[in-house]
Amino acid sequence: MISFEEAYKIVIDAQYYEVNTERIELNKSINRVLAKDIVSDINMPPFNKSAMDGYACKREDLNNDLEILEVIAAGSVPTKVVGTNQCSKIMTGAKLPEGADCVVKVEDTEETEDGKMRFVANETKDNFVPTGQDVEEGELVLKQGTLLGPQHLAVAASVGYDFPRVYKKVRVGVISTGDELVEPFAKPAEGQIRNSNAYQLIGQLNSMNVTPYYFGIAKDNEESTTRIINKAISETDVVLLTGGVSMGDFDFIPKIFDELGVEIKFKEMAVQPGKPTVFGVLGNKFIFGLPGNPVSSFNIFELLTKPFIYSLMGHKYEPVELNVPLGEGYKRKRSSRRSFIPVRIENAKAWPIVYHGSAHIQAMTQAHGLISIPVGVSELKEGELVDVRQI
């Protein structure tokens, strides 16, 4: 059985192309991956910009009462040069007038009876941002491969990219398998359970802003499963199946993959939960056979599928990891597989969440992240530092 690290490498290396690109409206590009470097077309700020409401003047004149020349609003252009013992009233964001080398805050001044400005504090900062301090014209501000969050959209907007070039969305098919499954609207009859994986996976995909295609529940027979897999393969780029991959009598996904000519890269990995994970390639299509149990499916999607899909879209996924002490010790019986344990972070410590098994998806609703216990380790002690991988 291969290790998690080997499985990860196989999955990432299987991706030999990146999806095409398109230009889209900036407003629609949240969570998309930038396909081209973005370079600033201007200095930022584009002019010496006042950081305060106050008076622009010469620092050397601060001990004198200063004549007020004009009021400079944000967006307007100063019309007067500030000379000796002169100043201009200026608003935050406005352009500093020529001749001035500092802005004194309104709060640090008073107006004299003859309408002049008097500085009444002991000292002042310059209170303006010089041209190009934040970004210089021609500077690289956003790199190709960046996953666009709201702050990236702000940067793109500030340098004039209203139609950034991004990677196209990957189409991802979701199939549930199992005769025991009914959809959420139905009350399960004896022996049945509700299909929860599909909704979880669709949620995971939607939160990555890729497009899920749901193909429903495949019955536990070869004919039905093959038909649905075929349809999903022809209509999407990546297919996610859940269930049917363990060693039960009705678990024949690996066999169907074989028959369809899907090259099976692995069909088990030393991970707990999530051992029965299959990964296959058919031409330029990719198929993940995820475990049936919801906790396993959730984790394997996070650990393998998500990095893979991002990689197809040109983004190297690096989840946030926090290094914190464990709030309480954790023991496990066997240590032949790498475990991933859901944890909560409270009081700057990681607290393992008690869960009964990989069907206990309710436990995951409390989780902030996963910690991993390497092969060969069966105990983590209280206070030991662990890396919490954010989910």
Q: Can you tell me which of 50, 131, 146, 196 binds ligand AMP, judged by CB under 6 A?
A: 196
C-beta of 148 vs 241, nearer to ligand AMP: 241
Strand partners for 331: 379
Q: Please, what is the minimum distance in Å from the beta carbon of residue 3 to ligand AMP?
A: 21
45: contact with Mg ion by CB under 5 A: no
173: contact with Mg ion by CB under 5 A: no
Q: Please, what is the minimum distance in Å from the beta carbon of residue 251 to Mg ion?
A: 6
CB count, 10 Å around CB of 298? 28
Give the list of residues 6+ apart from residue 154 with CB closer than 8 angstroms, or none.
none
Q: Please, what is the minimum distance in Å from the beta carbon of residue 218 to Mg ion?
A: 10
3-state secondary structure of 80: coil
C-beta of 244 vs 327, nearer to ligand AMP: 244
**Phi and psi, residue 36, nearest 5°:** -150, 140
Give the list of residues 6+ apart from residue 298 with CB closer than 8 angstroms, or none.
200, 204, 361, 364, 391
C-beta of 130 vs 188, nearer to Mg ion: 188
C-beta of 252 vs 308, nearer to Mg ion: 252
Q: Please, what is the minimum distance in Å from the beta carbon of residue 204 to ligand AMP?
A: 13
State the residue number with the nearest CB to ligand AMP: 292
CA–CA dist 140, 123 (Å, integer): 37
Half-sphere exposure of 331 (CA within 13 A, CB side): 1
Give the list of residues 6+ apart from residue 355 with CB closer than 8 angstroms, or none.
295, 342, 363, 364
CA–CA dist 165, 30 (Å, integer): 12
Q: Can you tell me which of 242, 299, 305, 311 binds ligand AMP, judged by CB under 6 A?
A: 242
The site map against ligand AMP for 336-375 (x = CB under 6 A) is -----------------------x----------------
244: contact with ligand AMP by CB under 6 A: yes
| Beta-sheet pairing, 49-50 with 181-182 | unpaired
**Would residue 272 be called left, alpha or beta, if left means φ above 0 and alpha means ψ between -120 and 50 degrees?**
beta
Q: How far is CA 305 from CA 177, 312, 350, 351, in A?
A: 18, 11, 25, 26
The site map against Mg ion for 175-194 (x = CB under 5 A) is ---x----------------
Tokens of 338: 């790498």
The site map against Mg ion for 212-251 (x = CB under 5 A) is -------------------------------xx-------
User: What is the contact surface with Mg ion in residues (CB under 5 A)?
Assistant: 178, 243-244
User: What is the contact surface with ligand AMP in residues (CB under 6 A)?
Assistant: 176, 178, 180-181, 193, 195-198, 242-246, 248, 251, 291-294, 359
